[in-house]
Amino acid sequence: MKCSQLFRKLKKAGWFVKSQKGSHKVLSRPDYAKKITFPDHNSTEVTNGIAAKIKKLTGLGL
């Protein structure tokens, strides 16, 4: 899955960009205490480790 596809899924699930530094975005959600650091490299594939961590933190089926 590409970074841009995963970012769209997260936005659809209610996550929004709280801050950004370079190509890394910090995503937040009002009803969730933790933040997610997301490497936004548009056309590159998300590594398995990052996808697993985001899935664990958000509960999204990726």
Residue 44 sits in a domain of what CATH number? 3.30.920.30
Q: Which pLDDT does position 62 carry in this prediction?
A: 63
> Which three-class secondary structure state does DSSP give residue 46?
coil
Percent helix, strand and coil across the chain, each rounded to 5? 35, 35, 30
Q: Which pLDDT does position 39 carry in this prediction?
A: 86
Question: In this prediction, what percent of the chain has a pLDDT beyond 90?
Answer: 29
The band of 20, judged by pLDDT with boundaries at 50, 70 and 90, is: very high
For the segment 24-35, the average pLDDT, to the nearest whole number, is 90
State which amino acid sits at residue 43: S
The total number of structural domains that make up the chain: 1
Range of the domain at 52: 3-58
Q: Which pLDDT does position 25 carry in this prediction?
A: 92
For the segment 30-41, the average pLDDT, to the nearest whole number, is 87
